[in-house]
């Protein structure tokens, strides 16, 4: 295993909250879509996208997708086949968790960056969702993470 601490590889999109990449209310309170920053996966064999959603309103759908891009801004981004999940709530308010895994061989040539996105069809709701993206299985044995 590489000598890298979890908090070095998982930082918030605003560089304030350690660990959580993105946390906010979806629907009427903010936007219907939230995406993490793009992580460079060049030195890793896999990346996990972890999502936890709370107060999901009945009959509404959350869609989770992993995206690939060619840089940290997500240039040329597109979805990754086989790395998505859709959830339809059947409760008055519900909690849902999912983990999406992307192996390096799932990326197209030139796309080394990966992000996670969640969207809702609940335009006036207030689903609170946290997304965490964690690179795993370092493909190197250095003492520090490469820049």
Query: pLDDT, tens digit, for every residue of 61-107?
Result: 899 999 999 988 888 989 999 999 999 988 877 889 999 999 999 99
Residue 32 pLDDT: 82
Provide the domain limits for residue 102. Answer: 6-138
- Per-residue model confidence as pLDDT tens digits over 16-66: 333 345 566 666 555 688 888 888 888 788 889 999 988 888 888 899 999
- Classify residue 97: in a domain, yes or no: yes
Residue 146 pLDDT: 53
- Classify residue 145: in a domain, yes or no: no
Distance CA 107, CA 22 (A): 23
Q: Is the per-residue pLDDT at 114 higher than 70? A: yes
Q: Is the per-residue pLDDT at 12 higher than 50? A: no
Q: Is 100 helix (H, G, I), strand (E, B) or coil?
A: strand
pTM of the shown model: 0.77
* Number of domains the chain contains: 1
- Classify residue 147: in a domain, yes or no: no
Q: Is 104 helix (H, G, I), strand (E, B) or coil?
A: helix
- Classify residue 143: in a domain, yes or no: no
Number of residues written out for the chain: 147
Distance of CA 108 to the CA centre of its chain: 18
Distance CA 135, CA 39 (A): 8
CATH number at residue 29: 2.60.120.380
- Classify residue 19: in a domain, yes or no: yes
Residue 138 pLDDT: 65
- Classify residue 101: in a domain, yes or no: yes
Residue 21 pLDDT: 53
């Amino acid at each position: 295993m590489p000598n890298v601490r979890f908090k070095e590889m998982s930082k918030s999109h605003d560089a304030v909250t350690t660990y959580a990449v993105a946390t906010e209310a979806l629907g009427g309170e903010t936007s219907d879509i939230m995406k993490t920053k793009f992580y460079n996966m060049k030195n890793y064999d896999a990346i996990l996208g972890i999502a936890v959603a709370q107060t999901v309103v009945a009959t509404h759908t959350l869609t989770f997708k992993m995206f690939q891009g060619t840089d940290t801004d997500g240039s040329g981004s597109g979805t990754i086949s086989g790395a998505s999940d859709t959830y339809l709530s059947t409760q008055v308010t519900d909690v849902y968790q999912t983990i999406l895994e992307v192996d390096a061989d799932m990326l197209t040539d030139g796309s080394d960056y990966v992000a996670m996105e969640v969207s809702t069809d609940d335009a006036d709701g207030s689903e609170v969702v946290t997304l965490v993206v964690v690179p795993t299985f370092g493909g190197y044995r250095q003492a520090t993470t490469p820049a």
